[in-house]
């Protein structure tokens, strides 16, 4: 058994001053004047280790290759360069990406796997991985081939299931997945109780295409299929996720009705402010999401649409982007978003300092602080002092 003494413990909802935590693999007790143990640590601030719900590590070789500034231009550059980026990202590339998250206090991440080639690297990850096997493809002629390939990737990930590696499923988006393919894949998620992620209403182009079959996506699809039409309405798409544990990524262009459906599905939203800025898709109405009490997590997305996987940089981007929300109130919500809400979204037993939760903890140096604790934590942290995963020092 180990003990931590800290000037501040963020649970994350509450702040405990001069508190103590007893833990082994799991958290045993929180309080004051707890019994002594062989090992006692002393820190300024302790909180649950952070969770990055949405990444695409296969794209980690990208620095300047992909084009930013417009969603469709970016998408075309992804289609053009993705094979090369995937080939170039091998062991060291994944290690570097994971290291950057780890140093910023991330103990677990949601990975969208497009090819399955990342599996051999991520199976040995020191961080917990929720591995979302992605399905993408809207050509009816290719449904069978895509489905067979998906099943084989899913099977390989299911064989590696452990307390640190959790297989899951991703439907890329309503504009890029054929409804038949989507239904088949969601049936598996239902059968096997796997969490789901889907990109939803990221760009104005997606909004115009799904609502009216118009806009920039019309030109994009007509290059491949003449007379292309959207295959599903946004509402129909959302209803497919009934009964599943779903995280919708982005939702920048989701309307009130869609946000209410997301809320009623008990789903959550992953908010990626830097990705949204770089692809220039606009700004999520986070105030509305919070007013509607829709759970949200802040996530980095991949290096395909970000310059860093450091979760504190992402939190600061969110803090500065949503200037209409009081900074102290927002900072608290942001910390909850990357701990408790993120754990819930990925079906993990961490993200909170409470008895029986996994002892996934971080310690941060924050001297001479009396007030604005959540805000100062976000402002002054880039790397954490120490991280524990399942009670072990990392
Ligand atoms: O979240 C960002 C932007 N929105 C959509 N997709 C992706 C993002 N980063 C990487 N992607 C991947 C996605 O997983 O790009 C491909 C998919 O494999 C686009 S579809 C050819
Ligand atoms: Fe993404």
- Per-residue pLDDT of the chain (394 residues), as tens digits, is 999 999 999 999 999 999 999 999 999 999 999 999 999 999 999 999 999 999 999 999 999 999 999 999 999 999 999 999 999 999 999 999 999 999 999 999 999 999 999 999 999 999 999 999 999 999 999 999 999 999 999 999 999 999 999 999 999 999 999 999 999 999 999 999 999 999 999 999 999 999 999 999 999 999 988 899 999 999 999 999 999 999 999 999 999 999 999 999 999 999 999 999 999 999 999 999 999 999 999 999 999 999 999 999 999 999 999 999 999 999 999 999 999 999 999 999 999 999 999 999 999 999 888 899 999 999 999 999 999 999 999 9
Q: Cα-flanking dihedrals φ and ψ of residue 167, to 5°?
A: -70, 145
Residue 62 and residue 174 share a domain: yes
Read off the pTM.
0.98
Q: How far is the CA of 274 from the centre of ligand 1 (A)?
A: 14
Pocket test for ligand 1, best of 69, 176, 301, 307 (most atoms within 8 A of CB): 301
Residue 129 and residue 14 share a domain: no
For residues 307 and 208, give the distance between their C-alpha atoms in angstroms, rounded to a whole number.
29
In which domain, by residue range, is 364 found? Answer: 2-48+352-393
Residue 58 and residue 98 share a domain: yes
- Kindly give the interhelix angle for 327-336 and 373-380, rounded to the nearest 10 degrees: 70
Looking up residue 167, the CATH number of its domain turns out to be 3.20.20.140
**Count of domains observed in the chain:** 2
- Is residue 377 within 8 Å of 311, Cβ to Cβ? no
**Active-site residues: which are they?**
202
Residue 129 and residue 25 share a domain: no
Residue 233 and residue 362 share a domain: no
Residue 294 and residue 210 share a domain: yes
Pairing of strands 268-271, 246-250: parallel
Residue 297 and residue 199 share a domain: yes
178 in ligand 1 pocket by Cβ < 6 Å? no
Structure-token match 């007379």, residue found: 227
Residue 137 and residue 55 share a domain: yes
For residues 293 and 289, give the distance between their C-alpha atoms in angstroms, rounded to a whole number.
6
Looking up residue 389, the CATH number of its domain turns out to be 2.30.40.10
- The closest residue, in CA terms, to atom 18 on ligand 1 is 114
Residue 58 and residue 37 share a domain: no
Residue 296 and residue 207 share a domain: yes
**Residues 60, 189, 275: CA angle, nearest 5 degrees:** 30
For 271, left (φ over 0), alpha (ψ -120 to 50), or beta?
beta
Residue 273 and residue 239 share a domain: yes
61 in ligand 1 pocket by Cβ < 6 Å? no
Can you name the residues that pair with 186 across neighbouring β-strands?
none
Pocket test for ligand 1, best of 60, 97, 114 (most atoms within 8 A of CB): 114
Q: What is the number of the ligand closest to the CA of 55?
A: 2
Return the biggest CA–CA distance within the chain: 72
Residue 300 and residue 277 share a domain: yes
């Amino acid at each position: 058994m180990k003990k931590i003494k800290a000037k501040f413990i963020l649970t994350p909802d509450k702040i405990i001053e001069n508190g103590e935590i007893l833990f082994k693999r799991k958290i045993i007790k929180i309080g004051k004047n707890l019994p002594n143990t062989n090992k006692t640590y002393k820190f300024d601030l302790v909180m649950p280790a952070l969770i990055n719900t949405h990444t695409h590590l296969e794209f980690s070789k990208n620095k300047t290759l992909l084009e930013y500034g417009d969603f469709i231009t970016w998408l075309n550059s992804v289609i053009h360069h993705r094979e090369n980026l995937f080939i170039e990202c091998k062991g060291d590339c994944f290690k570097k990406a994971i290291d950057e998250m780890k140093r910023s206090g991330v103990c677990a991440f949601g990975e969208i796997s497009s090819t399955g080639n990342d599996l051999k690297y991520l199976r040995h990850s020191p961080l917990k991985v929720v591995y979302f096997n992605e399905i993408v493809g809207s050509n009816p002629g290719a449904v069978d081939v895509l489905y067979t390939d998906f099943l084989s990737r899913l099977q390989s990930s299911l064989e590696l299931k452990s307390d640190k590696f959790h297989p899951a499923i991703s439907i890329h988006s309503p504009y890029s997945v054929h409804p038949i393919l989507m239904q088949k894949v969601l049936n598996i998620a239902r059968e096997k109780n796997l969490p789901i992620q889907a990109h939803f209403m990221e760009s104005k182009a997606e909004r115009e295409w799904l609502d009216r079959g118009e806009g920039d996506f019309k030109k994009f699809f007509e290059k491949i299929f003449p007379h292309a039409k959207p295959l599903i309405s946004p509402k129909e798409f959302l209803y497919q996720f009934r009964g599943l544990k779903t995280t919708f990524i982005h939702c920048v262009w989701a309307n009130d009705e869609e946000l209410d459906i997301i809320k009623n599905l008990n789903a959550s939203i992953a908010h990626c402010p830097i990705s949204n800025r770089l692809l220039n898709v606009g700004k999520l109405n986070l105030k509305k999401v919070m007013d509607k009490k829709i759970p949200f997590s802040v996530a980095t997305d991949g290096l395909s649409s970000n310059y860093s996987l450091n979760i504190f940089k992402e939190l600061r981007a969110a803090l500065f982007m949503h200037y209409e929300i009081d900074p102290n109130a927002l900072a608290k919500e942001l910390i909850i978003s990357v701990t408790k809400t993120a754990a819930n979204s990925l079906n993990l037993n961490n993200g909170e300092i409470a008895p029986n939760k996994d002892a996934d903890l971080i310690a941060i140096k924050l001297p001479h602080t009396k007030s604005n604790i959540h805000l100062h934590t976000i402002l002054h942290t880039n790397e954490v002092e120490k991280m524990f995963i399942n009670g072990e020092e990392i």
